Amino acid sequence: MGNQDGDGKKSFTRRDFLKATGGAMAVAGITTGGLAFASGKAGTAELPKKWDETVDVLIIGSGFAGLSAACEASKAGAKVVVLEKMPTYGGNSIINGGVYAASDSKLKLRKKLNLGEDSVDLHTEDTLKGGDRYNFPELVEILAKGSPEALNWMIEEAGVELRDALTRAGGHSAYRTHTVTAGIGYGFTDPLRKLAESRGVEIRLGSEVTRIWRKDPESPVSGVTVKRGRRESDIAVSRALVLASGGFSRDVKMRQMFNPSIVPEFNTTNQPGATGEMIRFAQAIGADTLQLNFIQLYPFAEPETGILDTPAVYPFNGVGYGMIYVSKEGKRFVNELERRDVCSFAQIKLGLKPTYSIFNEAMVLKMGGSAKEVEDGMAKGRFVRADSISELAAKTGLPAGPLQETVDKYNQYLKDKNDPDFKKPITDSMIPLQEGPFYAVAQWPAVHHCMGGLRINKDTQVIDIWGKPIPRFYAAGEVTGGIHGSNRLGSNAIPDCIVFGRIAGTNAAKEKPAA
Amino acid sequence: MNLKAIFLSAIVGTVVLLVGVSHNVWGEKPEKESICSACHVEYRSLLPALHPSLQKEPVPSCLDCHEPAVSEEPLTNAFSALIHLGHKDSADCLECHTWKEESSFDLPHPGAALGKPSDEDMHWIEKAFDAWADSPYLASLHASHAVTCSGCHGKNLPLMDDTVENERCLACHGPMEKLVERSAPQDFPDRNPHQSHLGEIACTVCHRSHWESEVYCLGCHQNFDMKIPGAK
Ligand SMILES: Cc1cc2nc3c(=O)[nH]c(=O)nc-3n(C[C@H](O)[C@H](O)[C@H](O)COP(=O)(O)OP(=O)(O)OC[C@H]3O[C@@H](n4cnc5c(N)ncnc54)[C@H](O)[C@@H]3O)c2cc1C
């Protein structure tokens, strides 16, 4: 678009302009980036002759990964700009459930609440096992080892606050899931955003990256094209580009390309900007990707819309304290401590939508819930409360006889410390469903997380299709692959984003400025 | 009727009148010096009955009473609003204004530099004006309350992709606490769009003046019953 005049001023004709906006109208999702190497050969484009701006460290995406990278890069003295295509910051991070897996922290909650043992090794092993060992051990170790330290960092430097509770969630073999006081990702993103901005980071909203520039397969990344409103501009990176653009759960077409079983009919828990164009732009400059077919369903989303609201976090947080899942026939159908993929497909196999989580009052605070959340959820009709199991059955439409039978049998299993039906490992912290009030919440799977993405190394450098790091190009967070394998354990994503985001920001700032 | 009331009714009357007469008195493209008189032979008939008689040249004498609205402050009912409302049906800014690409945009009388729009900017300024003059969007709603460009965009002519900061919206519509109170849902207080789980966001995320507004919440919460003016 536009011609460069001698004095560098753009002069436009209306025809140029129409062409440009026409091209830019392509919506987020699968935009046709074309070949992005700028070698000047047929089919490729020339690098911008003149850049509109130069930035030390340019970060794409304003979620956990982007904000953490921004905090570290700016602390190291780099001029940092974060580009976010949506009109609000925070991506999936700001709407997330606010639960964070760490084998320990400076708060020592596990010890304080007397919840047994844990270690970095155990966290590593659970994560590898939960991902069917498709994940790379050296990356998983960084996650498990870095998680407590990253949590302490957020508490100390950003002022993040946690609830006085710790849960054992599906796939984890220890009580290690922490809950932020706000009960939602905002409780992490808001302090991180403020920390970043206090260090001079500029977050530009409504700024969609539409291309990454690299001269040829030997060269470093040189910059990006950004569309802001109706204007496009080219920004050069002096030190490095950090890609933190999240997953593509909202990108139905891309989901289908890599995993046809994630059919369009599924709801999703994700924000509208969770589309995969940045992965394609990275591929177009030679970046390697892996495991894009591994797409996770969240088993407990609100059945009608797929929203992961506060009540939808309860089924995830409650199982370590004895919560059960029942079908419409009032029967358990899975070991509730199972991984997300197992819990999701057990429901889908039932073929009867929805299923329900059943819990009682005594579990609420233990699992990091609150009385206010329960009341709000009741008002919205999300939680159903009753004094007896039969009353709960009447209120939910579950069959009373079978539900009572299920609960009685289950209570006995807790006493026996043995679950012959589903082999759930019974712990001392599990509470029998004996005393009311009892609660039910409806649930159904929705598309949630993309385990696959860009191939990175331990330094978060993006690796190209020949196995070499692409100079000046880093990536962190959900846009990367190889950390969670085939199935991410719940509450492992925040530590993933924060730990690797910080590494990316630190390393990006260390790069020597381009000549 | 006190003086202030007379002025107020005069202003309102002018709006109505100017809208009505703009076309039949249109003439040749005016010269810079005599911008109004090139089209308008006399002014008395454009004004409401109660309007005080005119002493001097039309425009300067209007400005004696009606603020020009080329101001940093948000104003309503200013002269600029009245005159633009009166010429709503004119699609071409350059009937009255002068423009040199990327160097100036002026009123006919000198010294009123309003910015340096490019050709591309001008294209969008015209579109923005059209939406202000007549559209189902919020700009039109502002026009009907005699709020003109500067009311929202400040002294300089808004260029392509100009946006309006929250502060500016809140100068008239605020304070925020009032909006929070007004939009508090009866049923679920935590579903308040002005106090949401996204923290403080730009007004323009939902409310857009020159094109369709959009309830951003509905991007995820598809089953919420929320409506705003200027949206589908
Ligand atoms: C509802 C929900 C609840 C969750 N709860 C938890 C939880 O409790 N615990 C946990 O560990 N994990 C949870 N997860 C997963 C976790 O929140 C995400 O994996 C994590 O937020 C991803 O962070 P990110 O920084 O990688 O990406 P995001 O936070 O998604 O940020 C990426 C940003 O990049 C922007 N972007 C994309 N493309 C472009 C482009 N072309 N140009 C400019 N910007 C672009 C996007 O708009 C987005 O804002 C949850 C996920 C969801 C959806």
Residue appearing with tokens 């039969």: A390
Atom 14, ligand 1: which residue's CA is nearest? A96
Q: With an 8 Å Cβ cutoff, is B225 touching chain A?
A: no
pLDDT tens for residues B61-70?
777 777 766 6
- Closest residue, chain A, to B204 (C-alpha): A87
The amino acid present at A18, given as its one-letter code, is L
> Residues of chain B whose pLDDT is less than 70?
1-34, 56-60, 68-77, 91, 108-112
Rounded Cα distance between A206 and A416, Å, is 57
ipTM comes to 0.86
* Contact list, A11 vs chain B (CB under 8 Å): 119
Contacts of B188 in chain A (CB under 8 A): 376, 379-380
Which stretches of chain A score pLDDT less than 70?
A: 1-44
Distance CA A294, CA A136 (A): 15
CB neighbour list of residue A460: distance below 8 Å, 6 or more residues apart: A474, A475, A476, A480, A500, A503, A504, A507
Mean pLDDT of all residues belonging to chain B: 79
| Active-site annotation holds for A340 | yes
Q: Can you give the pLDDT at residue B29?
A: 39
Looking at CA atoms only, how far is residue B198 from chain A in angstroms?
Answer: 7
Q: Looking at the complex, does the CB of residue A261 fall below 8 Å from at least one CB of chain B?
A: no
| Helix (H), strand (E) at residue B98 | strand B98-100
Q: Tell whether A203 is within 8 A of chain B (Cβ).
A: no
Distance (Å, rounded) from C-alpha A120 to C-alpha A104? 8
The residues with which A450 forms a beta bridge, in sequence order, are A295
| Residue at token pair 């164009």 | A277
What type of residue sits at position A137?
A: P
**Which residues in chain B have their CB less than 8 angstroms from residue A380's CB?**
188
Contact status of A94 with chain B (Cβ, < 8 Å) = yes
Nearest CA to ligand 1 atom 10: A491
pTM over 0.90: no
In this predicted model, what pLDDT tens digit does every residue of B142-154 receive, in sequence order? 998 888 888 898 8
CB A209 within 8 A of CB A83: yes
Torsion from C-alpha of A184, A188, A191, A193, nearest 10 degrees? -100
In this predicted model, what pLDDT tens digit does every residue of A272-311 receive, in sequence order?
A: 999 999 999 999 999 999 999 999 999 999 999 999 999 9
Place of tokens 């501009």: A233
pLDDT confidence of residue A490? 96
Query: Are the CB atoms for A400 and A388 separated by under 8 Å?
Result: no
The token duo for B117 is 């729009």
Interval between CA A274 and ligand 1 midpoint (Å): 7
Which of A231, A305, A376 has the CB atom closest to B190's CB atom?
A: A376
What confidence score (pLDDT) does residue A214 get? 96
Most A CBs within 10 A among B100, B102, B103, B120, hence the mutation to make, goes to B120
Give the one of B188, B199, B223 whose C-beta lies nearest to A379's C-beta. B188
Q: What is the CA(A247)–ligand 1 centre distance, in A?
A: 7
Residue window 464-493, chain A: list those with CB within 8 Å of chain B: none
Cβ atoms within 10 Å, residue B53: 7
Q: Is B100 on the interface with A (CB under 8 A)?
A: no
What's the 3-state SS for A20-69?
HHHHHCCCCCCCCCCCCECCCCCCCCCCCCCCCEEEEEEEECCCHHHHHH
Question: A341 with A297: CB under 8 angstroms?
Answer: yes
Name the phi and psi angles at A75, rounded to 5.
-60, -35
Peptide bond into B110 cis (omega under 30): no
B120 → closest Cβ in A12, A94, A380: A12
